[in-house]
Amino acid sequence: MADTPEAIQKAKKQYILIGLILFVFTVVTVAVATVPWLDFGDHGFDSKDAVIGLLIATFKASLVASIFMHLNHERKTIYLVLLISAVMGIVLFFLTGWAFVDPIEYGNTVEGDRFYNPEKPITSD
C-alpha cells in the first residue's frame, strides 16, 4: 500500500492508467457488437462476437480485481478461492451451452425406446 506522498502519486497514476484502459476496452466491446467492419462472424451479432465480448470482459474484470480490489497483494488462500470460483463459472458456461444441444425436445418424453407424443397415443405393436 501507499504510505508516502510519492507512493500515493505513483498509485494515483496507476489507477488513472487502469481507468483509461477500462474505458478504451469498453469502447472496443461496444464496437465489436455494433460496428459492421469489426463483425467477426456472420452478419450481425452472433456467437463469435459474444465470445470476443466475453474475453474482453474477462480481461477487464481481472484488471478490476487485481488493481482496484488489491488482489495482486493477497495471500494464496484468496487465490485458491478465486480459482475455484473461476472453475465453477466455466462449468456453468459449459452447462448452459450443453442445454442448447439437448436432444430431448419440448413436449416429448422418452418412454422405453419410443418417444411419447400426447397427441398420438401409443398403440401396442
Same domain, 124 and 98: yes
Same domain, 20 and 69: yes
Least confident of 12-26, 34-48, 105-119: 105-119
Same domain, 18 and 54: yes
Same domain, 3 and 44: yes
Structural domain count, the chain: 2
Same domain, 51 and 94: no
Each residue's pLDDT tens digit, 53-72: 888 998 998 888 888 887 77
Each residue's pLDDT tens digit, 75-103: 888 878 888 988 998 899 888 878 777 76
Same domain, 94 and 112: yes
Q: Where are the alpha helices (DSSP H) in 4-118?
A: 5-34, 47-63, 76-100
Each residue's pLDDT tens digit, 5-30: 888 888 888 889 999 999 999 999 88
Which residue segment(s) compose the domain that 101 sits in?
A: 74-125
